[in-house]
Amino acid sequence: MKADKIYLVGFMAAGKSTLARALGRRLDWPVEDIDDRIEAREHRSITAIFAAQGEPYFRAVERQVLTDLLPRRHVVVATGGGTFAEPDNRAAIMADGAVVWLDLPLEQVIARLPPDNRRPLAADREQLQQLYQRRLLAYRQAHLRLDVSRAPIEELVERVLDWLES
C-alpha cells in the first residue's frame, strides 16, 4: 500500500507513541500524537480532563484534534486508544491514510499500565476488559495488524515499511 500518512491505532499501552516516533525517524516524517495534542490544547492532563468534564467532552476535543490533522501529509499519527473506536473518527482515518493496528493481548496491556491511575479508563479491571473487547471490533478494521506482543520496535518498523512498499 502506498501511503503519504500512517495512523497507528490500538488499545492503551500498545506502544503507538513509541512506534510512531521510530517510524517518523525512519521515514523522516513528523510525528503527531493525538493525546499529546489534546493535553497541549487543554493545558492539562487527560486524567484531569476526564475528572473535570468527562469522557464526552474529551471525545469532542479528540475529534477536533483529529480533524485538524486531516489535511497534513507525510506524517505519522499516534491515535489515542479510543480514537479509532468512534465510528466517525474511524471513517475519517480509514479514508485518510494507512491504518496500522498494534495488537497487544490484554494481559500485556495490564502489565504495561502504570499503577498510578493516569489512565482513567483503566481503573476498573472488569470494565477495562469489556472496553478492550468492544474496541477489538473497531481495531480489526485497520489495513494492517501488527502483533506487538514480542517483536522489538525496529522489527515492527521494518514490517510496516515492507507492507507500505508492497
pLDDT category of residue 1 using cuts at 50, 70 and 90: low
pLDDT of residue 113: 77
Q: What integer is the mean pLDDT of 62-89?
A: 97
Indicate the DSSP class of residue 13.
Answer: T
Instruction: Quickly tell me which residue has 480489526 as its cell.
Output: 140
pTM, two decimals, is 0.93
Give every CB contact of residue 127 below 8 A, 6+ residues apart in sequence: 121
Give the three cell numbers for residue 158. Answer: 521494518
pLDDT of residue 154: 96
- Name 76's bridge partners: 6, 31
Convert the pLDDT of each residue in 96-118 to its tens digit.
999 999 999 998 988 887 666 55
Convert the pLDDT of each residue in 117-158 to its tens digit.
555 555 677 888 999 999 999 999 999 999 999 999 999 999
Convert the pLDDT of each residue in 40-64 to its tens digit.
999 999 989 999 999 999 999 999 9
Domains and CATH numbers, the chain: 5-165 (3.40.50.300)
Give every CB contact of residue 97 below 8 A, 6+ residues apart in sequence: 3, 4, 5, 6, 7, 77
